[in-house]
Copies of this chain bind each other. A is one copy, B any other.
Amino acid sequence: MKRSSSLHSPTFSPLYRQIKELIMGNLESGEWGPGDPIPSESELASRFGVSQGTVRKAIDEMAAENLLVRQQGKGTFVATHKDPGSAFRFLRLVPNDGVLRVSRSIPLECWRAKAGPDVARTLALEPGAPITIVRRLLKLGDEPVVFDEIYLSSELFPDLSLEVLGTGESLYGLFEARYGVCMVRADERLRAVSADRVSADLLQVAEGSPLLLVERVTFTFGQRPVEWRRGFYSTRNHHYRNQLG
C-alpha cells in the first residue's frame, strides 16, 4: 500500500483513509452485504499490506458514521436497517410524552411516472427517466403522524408495488433486503407549512393547520442520491428531536 499522491499535494489523503475507501468499495460492490461480518482487522491488515492499527482507524471512522457496527468478541458487521436497534435511525419524530409506541407503515399508492426536472436533478437521473412514486402513511400507535411522498428510480427499484410494500415493515429494511440498496446518509430540510386537504384528512387534522414539512434526500454509498421524499409531519402530539453538538 502506497499513498496515491505526494504528502504536499492538495489531494493527499492519509493511509488509513485510503484503506477506508477500499473498504467502502467492498460495501458499494455488495461484496459484504448488510448484516454480514467483515474480515477481522488483522485479516484486512495483511490483505491491504498495512498494520492492524491503520485498519482500526479506518474502521473507527466508519463505525462513527454508522456504516459498520463493532461487536466486541464477535466481529465487525455491516450496518443494516433490519437490525431493530437501527431500524428507525432516520426517523426523528418522538412523542411528546416520551412513551414508545409501535410504528406501522401503511402504503397508500404506488405508481410510475417520468422524472421531472427537479426530481431528475436531486436523484441525478436523466430528465424523463422512469421513476416510481409511493405515498404512505406512518402511524405511531393509533395516531397517523407522517404522510410521505417518496420518489425513487424505477431502475433501482424495479418491481416496487403496493403488494411488495406490504404493510408494516420498515421501508429502508425492504429496500435493503429486496433491492440491495443501503441507505447510509440523508439531508433534510424542514419547513412549517399549512396542511392541504389531502394531508389534513390523512393526518386527521384541520385543513390549514400547521404541519412540519420534511424534505429528505437519502444517499447510498459514494454520496449517490437514491431517494427523494417529502413528508408532512403532524406535530400535535409529537416533535422532531435534534441534538446539536
Contact = CB atoms under 8 A, between A and B. Distances in A.
B190 A240 contact: yes
Contacts of A212: 190-192, 212
A122 interface: no
Interface stretch (A14-22, A142-150, A159-167, A181-189): A181-189
A74 interface: no
Given A193-B210, A194-B210, 12 more contacts: A89-B244, A185-B245, A186-B244, A187-B244, A188-B241, A188-B243, A189-B242, A190-B212, A191-B239, A192-B211, A210-B210, A215-B239
Contacts of A64: 64
Given A194-B209, A211-B210, A212-B212, A245 B189 contact: no
A215 to B, nearest CB: 8
A24 to B, nearest CB: 15
Interface in A41-93: 64-66, 89-90, 92
B244 A92 contact: yes
Which 8 pairs across A and B sit closest by C-beta, in order of nearness? A192-B210, A210-B210, A190-B240, A191-B235, A192-B192, A186-B244, A189-B239, A192-B212
Contacts of A216: 244
A189 B244 contact: no
Q: How many copies does the complex hold?
A: 2
A191 B210 CA distance: 9
Given A211-B210, A244-B89, A239 B190 contact: yes
Nearest to A184: B245
A46 B191 CA distance: 51
Contacts of A233: 192
Nearest to A193: B210
Nearest to A194: B210
Contacts of A244: 89-90, 92, 185-188, 216
A233 B124 CA distance: 31
Contacts of A193: 192, 210, 235
